[in-house]
Amino acid sequence: MSQVFSEETHRNLLARIPQCTGREISDWLRAVEDGPALFRFEEKVSWLRHEHNLAYGHAKAIVHEYDLRRAARNLL
């Protein structure tokens, strides 16, 4: 998992995604879940960018959030 953004920047990006894309974060997380079985972080980011025409920062924030939530599920 690659994180270049600070936690604050990550949260700010997530907060802006619904306004910028017209879709809620939960919709984007489901898109990553239902998308192709890609293993590398940057592959997922690239897929989101090209398949859904997202900005790099938004795609990266979505994949990072997806990885955080998946890791949290695995810890339970």
Q: Decide if 20 is inside a domain.
A: yes
| Inside any domain, residue 1 | no
pLDDT tens digit string along 21-71? 999 999 999 999 999 999 999 999 999 999 999 999 999 999 999 999 999
Residue 2 lies in a domain: no
Q: Which of 58, 5, 10, 52 is nearest to 31 (CA)?
A: 52
Tell me the residue range of the domain where 33 lies. 7-74
Answer whether residue 59 is part of any domain.
yes
pTM of the model: 0.89
- Asked if the structure places residue 28 within a domain, the reply is yes
Flag whether 68 is in a domain. yes
Left (φ > 0), alpha (ψ -120 to 50) or beta: where does 2 sit? beta
User: What's the CA angle centered on 68, arms 63 and 69, to 5 degrees?
Assistant: 100
How many domains does the chain divide into?
1
| 53: in domain | yes
